[in-house]
Amino acid sequence: MHRQPSRDREHIPCSNRRLYGTDEFFAVTVMQSGNRGFRFNLRHDILKIAMATEKTFYLETFGCQMNAHDSEKVIGTLQQQGYRQVESEEDAGLILYNTCSIRDKAEQKVFNRLNDYKKLHKAGKRFGVLGCVAQQEGGKIFERAPYVSLVSGSASYRKLPEMLARLESGETRITGLDDRQTDETFETEFTARQNPYRGYITIIEGCDKFCSYCVVPYTRGKERSRSSSSVLAEARRIADMGYTEIQLLGQNVNSYRDAEGKSSFAELLASVGQVPGIRRVRFTTSHPRDFTRDIVEAIDAVPTLCDHVHLPVQSGSSRVLKLMAREYTREWYLERISWIKAARRPISLSTDIIVGFPGETPDDFIETMDLLAEVEYDCVFGFKYSARPNTPALTMIDSISEAEKSHRLQVLLDRQREIQRVNYSKHLGQIIEVMVEGMNPARGQVAGRSSQNKPVNFTCAQPIAPAPGSYAQVRITGAFPNSLVGEAV
Ligand code: SAH
Ligand code: SF4
Ligand code: F3S
């Protein structure tokens, strides 16, 4: 029989190929067809049937970088199970939300979304809630949104293929909620990397710190580290894919304990920085209690480790830090800052601060303001305290009004803006290496980031814009409190 499977396949757009499951299935169908006209009709019919049964999903992600990277792994897993990702809820058979519950507002977002799209359930679409709200609320989600069929926390993602199979067989109350005490991490070779210039690698999952305000230990389960060989193998795979920047992730990367006992966190960091092809390594988040001096020594020794440390302080008052169960004092924190400032190259510092924690007095707040002036951060993420389910702080009297919290936050951010205005202007006239992240079409500028993690927008003489992930040397000609401006040299 005459057959031209490869030519026939070329007529099918790539995205439609997946409709057929496997190429083998398609090749067999063509072989059986015989005459051309019949073959066309058969293919047309198959296309129609396949479109009706095609497995598609829409995934929206809320929350931190760990959640964003979890989503990359979830997408890869779904694709491996024969699903195709689509751009809107309307086009999807399965609608997934990967959720965050760090503050009340973040948590509300998922219920707003579910409410906005519940009408799609009538059209036969299925809903799943993943991530931190899923783990926190568990089966209660089925009561609040009965059209949801799947609820799974991040500690259960290893079981996603099995949960998807149950979903496909028509089950409507599937949960993945019982794995918070697991020692296993979610490792998959099918990560569908969405970021074009930065490869994320989770090195440690969960958190054992139990800060008194925080949901994460309850939503992500106990701390568990990957082996250094598995992390390094992933770093090499990422480099082979063409990535030059890696970001190591964990809620507390400093408490990394190599499952094989080979490397400390600082040693692992240095090894990732030495992977051929890697030019930039970032890591987040550090915890002051576990931050060790050898991390600064590694940054000094390995040029690819970025000049930036994110070290959340939460409060400048030792009294409040104690109430927060952060396990360090203001002095302990400032000692770590002094190590970082004593490094051979200037290392940029950023932090997270919570204002209005229960019992925070005006004097406590002044201590936080003084700390800002002393450290001179390049970036501060400020949050109003938000009472969270299950956390010990929930039982503390939250007597600070919403208006006072907003006022303190505004005072803090205004002061920080002035600090950044001074810090950023110190770069005027310098030539800085910038990694390109995209274009700012409104301004006709290329958008990128320095090793210190500062946004840099620049013009370049070339007619074609540099690609995301490429590097440019940029002379800094302007400075704002949150970004630098320059021209490629
Ligand atoms: N593991 C990291 C970050 C966790 S979440 C760390 O320990 O620093 C990111 C930030 O959200 C925290 O640093 C904290 O500043 C803020 N945050 C966490 N819980 C909060 C709450 N209940 N209310 C307000 N902000 C909170
Ligand atoms: Fe939350 Fe504290 Fe763990 Fe960070 S270290 S995730 S703030 S409990
Ligand atoms: Fe949110 Fe969970 Fe991350 S609560 S900040 S998505 S760990």
Tell me which long-range contacts 363-366 makes (C-beta under 8 A, separation of at least 24). Answer: 363/317, 364/315, 364/316, 364/317, 364/319, 364/320, 365/317, 365/408
Q: Is the pLDDT of residue 211 over 50?
A: yes
Residue 27, classed as helix, strand or coil, is helix
Instruction: Give the mutation target among 212, 353, 354, 384 for probing the ligand 1 site: most ligand atoms within 8 A of CB.
Output: 354
Domain with CATH 2.40.50.140 in the chain: 431-488
Tokens in use for 311?
A: 């070290």
pLDDT of residue 461: 86
Q: Which atom of ligand 2 is nearest to the CA of 220?
A: 6
Q: What angle do CA 135, 137, 143 make, to 5 degrees?
A: 130
Q: Phi then psi for 194, rounded to 5 degrees?
A: -100, -25
Between the alpha carbon of residue 400 and those of residues 234, 384, 406, 442, the distances in Å are 46, 10, 10, 42
pLDDT value for 8: 27
Indicate which atom in ligand 2 lies nearest the CA of residue 214: 1
pLDDT (average), residues 178-190 = 89
> Class assignment of domain 195-306?
alpha beta
Q: What is the mean pLDDT of residues 337-358?
A: 98
What does the pLDDT average to over 427-436?
98
What's the mean pLDDT when you consider all of the chain?
A: 89
Say how many residues make up the chain.
489
Q: Which residues does ligand 3 sit against, CB inside 6 Å? A: 63-64, 66-67, 100-102, 131-132, 215-216, 219-220
Contact between residue 252 and residue 283 where contact means Cβ atoms under 8 Å apart:
no
> Average of pLDDT values for 182-196?
91
Amino acid at 339: W
Distance CA 61, CA 478 (A): 34
Residue type, 225: S
CA of 354 to the centre of ligand 1 (A): 8
Mean pLDDT (whole number) for 248-272: 97
Find the 216 Cα to ligand 2 centroid distance in Å: 6
pLDDT tens figures, 470-485: 999 999 999 999 999 9
Average pLDDT over residues 433-456: 94
The pLDDT value recorded for residue 238 is 96
Q: How many angstroms separate the CA atoms of 484 and 66, rounded? A: 27
The CATH 3.40.50.12160 domain(s) of the chain lie at: 56-176
Q: Indicate the top mutation candidate among 211, 352, 357 to test ligand 1's pocket, ranked by most ligand atoms within 8 A of CB.
A: 352
Q: Verify whether ligand 1 is closer than 6 Å to residue 279 (CB atom).
A: no
CATH 3.40.50.920 is held by the domain 310-425: no
Q: Looking at 47-147, which runs of residues are DSSP E strands?
A: 56-61, 84-85, 94-99, 126-130
- Confidence at residue 42, expressed as pLDDT on a 0 to 100 scale: 52
Q: Model confidence over 268-307: pLDDT tens digits?
A: 999 999 999 999 999 999 999 999 999 999 999 999 999 9
CB 222 within 8 A of CB 180: yes
CATH number assigned to the domain with residue range 56-176, chosen from the 4 options 3.40.50.12160, 3.30.200.20, 3.30.950.10, 3.20.20.70: 3.40.50.12160
C-alpha R_g of the chain:
25
- Backbone dihedral region of 111: left (phi > 0), alpha (psi from -120 to 50 degrees) or beta? alpha
β partners of residue 479: 484
Cα gap 361→399, rounded to integer Å: 10
Q: Which residues contact 160 (CB under 8 A, 6 or more apart)?
A: 74, 77, 78, 152, 176
CB of 202 within 8 A of CB of 188?
A: no
In this prediction, residue 18 carries a pLDDT of 22
Question: Kind and range of the H or E element at 104?
Answer: helix 104-117
Ligand 3 pocket test target in 135, 207, 219 with most atoms within 8 Å of CB: 219
pTM above 0.95, yes or no: no
pLDDT at 209 over 60: yes
Report how far apart, in Å, the C-alpha atoms of 12 and of each of 6, 9, 40, 52, 294 are.
10, 6, 12, 17, 55
- Does residue 369 carry a pLDDT above 70? yes
**Cβ distance 446 to 440 under 8 Å?**
yes
Least confident of 27-41, 186-200, 350-364: 27-41
* CA atoms of 152 and 164, how far apart (whole Å): 11
Question: Measured in whole angstroms, how far is the alpha carbon of residue 302 from the centre of its chain?
Answer: 25
**296-344: per-residue pLDDT in tens?**
999 999 999 999 999 999 999 999 999 999 999 999 999 999 999 999 9
Determine the average pLDDT of the residues in 241-249.
97
* Mean pLDDT in residue range 240-245: 97
| Res. 89: pLDDT tops 50 | yes
Residue 33 pLDDT level (bands cut at 50, 70, 90):
very low
| Residue 242: count of CB within 10 angstroms of its CB | 11
CATH code for residues 431-488: 2.40.50.140
Domain span(s) for CATH 3.30.750.210 in the chain: 195-306
Measured between its terminal Cα atoms, the distance across the chain in Å is 63
Atom of ligand 1 nearest to the CA of 393: 22
Q: Which amino acid is at 146?
A: P
Question: How far apart, in whole angstroms, are the C-alpha atoms of residue 33 and residue 370?
Answer: 79
> How sure is the predictor about 382, in pLDDT bands with cuts at 50, 70 and 90?
very high
- Decide if pLDDT at 65 tops 90: yes
Q: How far is the CA of 102 from the centre of ligand 1 (A)?
A: 7
Answer with the residue of higher pLDDT: 27 or 309. Answer: 309
Looking at residue 45, its pLDDT comes to 53
Residue 402 pLDDT class (50, 70, 90 cuts): very high
pLDDT surpasses 70 at 40: no
Cβ atoms of residues 334 and 374 within 8 Å: yes
pLDDT at 52: 55
CA–CA separation, 213 and 332 (whole Å): 21
Per-residue b or e along 317-332, where b marks 16 or more CB atoms closer than 10 Å to that residue's CB:
bbbbbebbebebebee
Pairing of the two strands 224-225 and 204-205: antiparallel
From 101, 205, 210, 211, the mutation candidate for ligand 2 (largest count of ligand atoms within 8 A of CB) is: 211
Chain centroid, CA 265 distance in Å: 20
Instruction: With CA atoms as reference, report the closest residue to 130 among 104, 160, 108, 102.
Output: 160
Q: Is pLDDT at 10 greater than 50 in this prediction?
A: no
Taking residues 231-253, what's their average pLDDT? 97
Least confident of 358-362, 429-433, 434-438, 459-463: 459-463
Kindly give the distance from the C-alpha atom of residue 92 to the centroid of ligand 3, in angstroms, as a whole number.
Answer: 25
